[in-house]
Structure 1
Amino acid sequence: MTAAATSPATISVALIGNPNTGKSTLFNALSGGRVRTGNYPGVTVEKKSGRAEFHGRQFRLVDLPGTYSLAPKSPDEMVAVDVLLGRRKDEPQPDVVLCIVDASNLERNFYLLSQVLDLGLPAVVAVNMMDLAESRGVKISLDKLAAKVPVQFVAVQANQGKGINELKQALAAAAEKPATKIDSPFPAAFQEEVRKLSVLTQKNAEPLPRYLAERLLLDTSGYLAGAELPGVSQELLKELPAARERLKQAGAPVPAVEAMARYQWAGEVLKSAVARPKERTDTFSDKVDRVLTHRVYGTLVFMVVMFVLFQSVSWIAEPAGAATDWLVGAAGDFVKWLIPAGPLQSLLANGVVAGVGGVIVFLPQILTLFLFIAILEDCGYMARAAYLMDKLMVRVGLSGKSFIPLLTSFSCAIPGIMAARVIENRRDRLVTMLVAPLMSCSARIPVYVLLIETFFPDRTWLWGVISLKGLVYLAMYSLGAVVGIGIAWLLKLTILRGPTPPFVLELPSYKWPGPWIVLHRMFEQGWAFVYRAGTLILLVQIVVWALAYYPHDERVLAAGVRDREAALLAEVEPLKQDFEEYDAKLNAAKISDKEKEKDSAYVAKKEAFEAKQAELDDVQGHIAGTLLENSYLGRAGKAIEPAVKPLGWDWKLGSAAIASFPAREVIVATLGTIYNLGEGAEADSTPLHEQLKDAKWDGTDKPVYTRPVALSVMVFFALCAQCASTLAIMKRETGSYWWPIFTFFYMTGLAYVGAFIAYQGGTWLGL
């Protein structure tokens, strides 16, 4: 009995098709946007499922990875085969298979269709992009196709919602029909060898399905032989070389016999059903590609597109990020106003609210980048960009598809890692994700700004066109890219060793991006980031807060310092109230700010308030710094001081580095607290600049910060994996804790060595 014959309460439908056939668009149209995403356990393949109800039945839709063939050579590629055969515990065997084909390129798409039909499951074929085929003069008779292949063919135009109702009706009907069966397209000699292998597997408790027996015979890579498939014995494996030799002698060499047999089958099926023009018409896509894929013109266009993309991120994401920061700050102030000072207030304001803010502050970048990436992908340009960059990437063992994720990582590594999903080859995908955090993201900017502006002079050359500070900025941004290229090359030679796969890329036709498709992809990626990465980064921020807050022993404070704070608070409040009331009075009289500065009473009240507030800030900063020094985080800084001293760092810098591992930009606020400035220090804070310049090693007059130390800190932050969100996303994308752990340790070690060289080398050169 087939799966369909049982008439389940919920019908499971698996969608499969070649890349760029509109499969994801059709999936979203059928599911109505009710989608869940995740990873299949143990692999890096995204698991996307949705639910829908039509024709009185409940449907569960599973979007399988886009593929050109069901010929697995890795665990990732095995997912689709395992799902279709019902061999995964986390996913039931589908009741119906929906195969999506591109009407303008049926021969290639029918190769995969023939493999799907070989599985013997109820199937429906959605013939997408009929309008594109017609524009090229291709005429397709679906009735003639159905007469040769025992499945229902439905014409659809997924991006415009055409044919969706007919497709739903076909799926409901297919679930009630017996399994689809076609004659094997392979020659008789091949079928006989498969029969012999099946006899050997029948000796075991779990005989190998016919399709896997075929694949085992065809797979010369050795993956399936070592995949511990049920029914595969040593006796069977020993028989494979002899079977392949017999097929070679019979004129059906492996693995070429599959391509010959399946394309011959496709040609016979399509011969009478598809009419093509005698001469190929020059399409709009062909004309545009003469420019966009040109070695010179295409590269120039690509540079302009990338410039506009990242400028757009800056124009849109930075104001949105500033607004997000303001909201988080307002929420923290509200918590402090609502809850009395103490551990609960600090936990909620500095742990929970700051933790949520540490996640949400990335969201504008995520949404903006994925908005533009979705537009470029849906219109067909992203494939051209990968094609142009392939020659550069292949030199380090990667392909052109790695370029866009790495470029994206210069704004934020998180969307860069997420964008690596487009890379089919598992090794290339992993290498890309492992080096993406080395690209200098926007979170490093506060560190660069603080140290470059403080310790490097305003020296310029060529009439001010070239500046020393600008060169240091460029060096810091270039460092991550250069080191990333070296690490990618090294990984491809060692733990992810393997040949660079041929860069086979289909250039889809250009089309207007669908607004709903673009918005859905953008918000889907944004929600996935907030939901999954948010939980981990929030937890880490709370842990860091606890380490920096406890044991909060007031006995370490100098005698009378709390009394001094209380006295200053009592003095500041009336001065503040007096100044604000006088200021409001002048505003009511419509006195301008410039005129206010000439009012002696206004100036006196303002200066009195600000002077007393500065005294209070100094005392509160001293209290915060002393408590932090004696906190668990401060003690950890003291403990690691011998390890960081060769980098030119003291315990305070060590503590700041530890605190910044959840998020790099935390170091600025942490340094502000450590140097008695409280928690509100910013990267452009003049007092912080001065405090860093004046900082001395404990018990000496030797300055902590010099130009080599500044270089050491920047190099460390340029190379270190200080972003819990990035590691959380890497865990999600790889489906394993191993890769983020490996990334953390290799980048931390790399950062330490780089910082050591920067400090020792800079000191030796007399910087």
Structure 2
Amino acid sequence: MLALPTHIALLGNPNCGKTALFNLLTGSRQKVANYAGVTVERKEGVAHTASGRHVKVLDLPGAYSLNAISNDEAVTRDVITGHLDTLPDLLVCVVDATNLRLHLRMVLEARQLGIPLVVALNKMDRAQKLGIRIDLPKLALALGAPVVPTVSVHAHGARPLQAHLDHELPPRTTSTWQAQSIDDVRHTQHEVHRIFEATVQEPAVDHDPTERIDRFLMHPVWGLVVLALVLTSTFLAVFSVGSWLTGHVEEVFSWLAVQVEERMNDGLLRGLVVEGIIGGVGGVLVFLPQILILFLFFLALGDSGYLPRAASLLDKPMSKAGLSGRSFIPLLSSFACAIPGIMATRTITNWRDRLTTIMIAPLMACSARIPVYTLLIAALFPQEPMKATALMVGLYALGIVSAMCVAWVMKRPHRSAGNAPLLMELPAYQWPDLRSLVIGLWERAMIFLRRVGTIILALTIIMWALYTIPSPRAHADGTPIERSLAGELGNGLQYIFAPIGFNEHISIALVPGMAAREVVVSSLGLVYAMEGDEEQVGAQLQDRISNEWSLATKLSLLLWMVFAPQCLSTFVAVRRETNSWRYMWIMGGYLFALAYLASLVTYQLTLFLTAP
């Protein structure tokens, strides 16, 4: 009986197209978890071979070497040496055909493991366009492993690999791999050079436009201008195109609320469904288009090869705050969500730099702030998208500047140690892979929807109950909200929030917002006891904020949302990544103090400046 592979693992350097190849092989048949005992993401899926067999595929974290210097590389090493997971039947070592000098080192290390190995020579289409000629049979002979060409951005680009998965496995041999000394590394590099010179012919004239593009995009002045334009365009799209799409989502909830009201008898159950569930959950779901647009831009920038260049470009400015360009990508990821941003700090090898980046990541304006920002900015500048965009960019910029100031304070006692030089691979520019973008957006949409269907749904139901159940100490006169348990809670919180301009309605809405800040919008709608469908609720809430709240209160709440760490999941991530309760409480303490101080100064100063 033939021994065919049933469990394969994809191994390769960052930027080799490994994850794009994984997406091509598995499509939507993926599941994401964490490795046992560590917080590194584990991606697994199911692929079909050429004969139709199912094969389990594991996408290992990107690694330059098995001599690990980061958590991700350590996990990759431990998986394929059998210390963290079941050994795969076959290792697929993915290498970039346009950058074999760098990527062949991993192949030479992997073949020492004794696990059957096949080399996937990825990006072959680009190599051919650049005039790079590779002798595949000679390369396979030199490496002692089969070599198959792949193009992960083409629909049929994995067919040679799928066909190879139906080949019988060679016998497994004893592993000879061990951590390399300096002499071993030199010997490996010499072997890489020998194999490259014998199997690869590069063109006499460099046809790669990357260097020419980099002269402009990596310019110390024009590069920063382009980066600012890219980020501004992103936020403009979020606010303009996203708002247009949000209107269509509102229409869906409008229709749904009307249908439920017509078919249910008046009473508590209808109030729960219409106001608590449709109103509460719908109040957050309507912002899904804007959140996905933000993710789309970040995914496309990462796939194109631009993000590492932005990190390199910002290395010198960030060094003024005691950080390096290594912190840029985790901080940029935090604009979408602080949790993956905090997890992305694992690539930062210096512990103090990593801790500083973790502590300032929540200051990046995550996508959960978009619902509140959008509501308040629309109340300040209705029908004025340019002013609204300028204010949105200003809020994001405030978070960035504040983060750099906090980093400077945290790193000041250790400034004499200096920063290690930034060494980062700059991959060739490429068009983003549509398949990877779609899968990435789908994964993030599912994460958001699961959050809405669990945490946010539970919080909105709890808040609806607090607004509905009367307080035993309430007076007979007054509005239903004032007579409820929520009203009594709001009155108690007034002693804390009155100096920064928050009335009892805002105070009540901030309570569930401590667990998930996007709930603030739906909670405000419930606090004001709105009636009608979702579209009417949104419009009435915006009108009431515009007409009833003072300018000082609106600005104060915006500043509160910039700094306040209103996300329990972020606290959990900080505790997990630092393995310390202390750092979690320090982060929460300084952020709440900043939020209160910023709101207090903004509120009192605005009152002073606008006083008659």
TM-score (norm 2): 0.82
**What does residue 337 of structure 1 align with?**
262
CA change 1:547–1:748 in 2 (3 A) is farther
Among 175, 181, 200, the residue aligned to 1:274: 200
Structure-2 separation of matches of 1:451 and 1:313:
17
Q: CA deviation at 1:146?
A: 2.6
CA displacement, residues 68-126 of structure 1 (integer Å, 9 cap, x when unaligned): 112224544321112112222xx422111110111222222121122212222111111
Q: Is the 8 A contact 1:43 1:735 kept in 2?
A: no
2:191 is the counterpart of 1:265: yes
CA displacement, residues 579-609 of structure 1 (integer Å, 9 cap, x when unaligned): xxxxxxxxxxxxxxxxxxxxxxxxxxxxxxx
The residue type paired with residue 89 of structure 2 is: D
Q: CA deviation at 1:28?
A: 1.6
CA RMSD of aligned residues (A): 4.2
1:378-457 to structure 2, matched below 5 A, reads 378-400=303-325, 402-403=327-328, 406=331, 413-415=335-337, 418=340, 424-425=347-348, 432=357, 434-440=359-365, 441-445=369-373, 448-449=376-377
1:443-522 to structure 2, matched below 5 A, reads 443-445=371-373, 448-449=376-377, 478-490=397-409, 500=419, 502-522=421-441
The residue type paired with residue 117 of structure 1 is: R
**What does residue 367 of structure 1 align with?**
292
2:60 is the counterpart of 1:64: yes
1:585-734 to structure 2, matched below 5 A, reads 626-647=479-500, 649=502, 651-661=504-514, 664=517, 680=537, 682=539, 691-692=548-549, 707=552, 712-722=556-566, 727=570
Q: Is the 8 A contact 1:379 1:512 kept in 2?
A: yes
**What does residue 164 of structure 2 align with?**
170
CA change 1:662–1:494 in 2 (3 A) is farther
The residue type paired with residue 268 of structure 2 is: P
Q: CA deviation at 1:52?
A: 2.0
Q: Is the 8 A contact 2:8 2:90 kept in 1?
A: yes
Q: Is the 8 A contact 2:358 2:574 kept in 1?
A: no
CA displacement, residues 476-534 of structure 1 (integer Å, 9 cap, x when unaligned): 55543332222344555799x99755432222223333333332322233223323564
Among 119, 127, 134, the residue aligned to 1:125: 119
2:75 is the counterpart of 1:152: no
Q: Is the 8 A contact 2:376 2:545 kept in 1?
A: no
**What does residue 101 of structure 2 align with?**
107
Query: How many residue pairs align between the two structures?
Result: 595
In terms of mean alpha carbon deviation, does 24-33 or 40-49 score higher? 40-49
Q: Which has the larger radius of gyration?
A: 1
Structure-2 separation of matches of 1:143 and 1:132:
20
Q: CA deviation at 1:364?
A: 0.9
Q: CA deviation at 1:711?
A: 5.2
CA change 1:766–1:99 in 2 (3 A) is same
Q: CA deviation at 1:548?
A: 2.5
1:736-747 to structure 2, matched below 5 A, reads 746-747=590-591
CA change 1:147–1:662 in 2 (3 A) is closer
2:40 is the counterpart of 1:45: yes
CA change 1:734–1:63 in 2 (3 A) is farther
The SS at the match of 1:340 is: coil
Q: Is the 8 A contact 1:17 1:66 kept in 2?
A: yes
The SS at the match of 2:198 is: coil
Q: Is the 8 A contact 1:672 1:678 kept in 2?
A: no
2:6 is the counterpart of 1:11: yes
Determine what percentage of the aligned residue pairs are the same residue. 32
CA displacement, residues 260-313 of structure 1 (integer Å, 9 cap, x when unaligned): 121122233334323345x45252222222222222333333333333333233
Structure-2 separation of matches of 1:142 and 1:18:
20
CA change 1:437–1:354 in 2 (3 A) is farther
Q: Is the 8 A contact 2:17 2:122 kept in 1?
A: yes
Q: Is the 8 A contact 1:38 1:48 kept in 2?
A: yes
Q: CA deviation at 1:425?
A: 2.2
Q: CA deviation at 1:141?
A: 1.9
CA change 1:719–1:513 in 2 (3 A) is closer
The residue type paired with residue 460 of structure 2 is: Q
Among 76, 83, 96, the residue aligned to 1:80: 76
The residue type paired with residue 414 of structure 1 is: A
Structure-2 separation of matches of 1:301 and 1:74:
31
The SS at the match of 1:521 is: helix
Structure-2 separation of matches of 1:357 and 1:473:
23
2:266 is the counterpart of 1:347: no
Q: Is the 8 A contact 1:633 1:659 kept in 2?
A: no
**What does residue 207 of structure 1 align with?**
none
The SS at the match of 2:566 is: coil
Structure-1 separation of matches of 2:297 and 2:604:
43
2:18 is the counterpart of 1:33: no
The residue type paired with residue 716 of structure 1 is: W
Q: Is the 8 A contact 1:393 1:400 kept in 2?
A: yes
Q: Is the 8 A contact 2:327 2:348 kept in 1?
A: no
CA change 1:444–1:161 in 2 (3 A) is closer
Among 20, 23, 43, the residue aligned to 2:15: 20
TM-score (norm 1): 0.67
CA change 1:407–1:86 in 2 (3 A) is closer
Structure-2 separation of matches of 1:470 and 1:7:
60
CA change 1:355–1:450 in 2 (3 A) is closer
The residue type paired with residue 644 of structure 1 is: F
**What does residue 748 of structure 1 align with?**
592
The SS at the match of 1:173 is: coil
CA change 1:734–1:678 in 2 (3 A) is farther
CA change 1:75–1:68 in 2 (3 A) is closer
In terms of mean alpha carbon deviation, does 630-639 or 419-428 score higher? 419-428
Q: Is the 8 A contact 1:668 1:683 kept in 2?
A: no
Structure-2 separation of matches of 1:335 and 1:518:
36
CA change 1:472–1:274 in 2 (3 A) is closer
Structure-2 separation of matches of 1:360 and 1:673:
16
CA change 1:108–1:317 in 2 (3 A) is same
The residue type paired with residue 195 of structure 2 is: V
Q: Is the 8 A contact 1:637 1:658 kept in 2?
A: no
Structure-1 separation of matches of 2:287 and 2:120:
39
CA change 1:515–1:669 in 2 (3 A) is closer
Q: CA deviation at 1:712?
A: 4.3
**Larger relative contact order (C-alpha < 8 A, sep ≥ 6)?**
2
The residue type paired with residue 278 of structure 2 is: V
Structure-2 separation of matches of 1:736 and 1:341:
51
In terms of mean alpha carbon deviation, does 709-718 or 386-395 score higher? 709-718
CA displacement, residues 359-392 of structure 1 (integer Å, 9 cap, x when unaligned): 4233212322233333333333333333322222
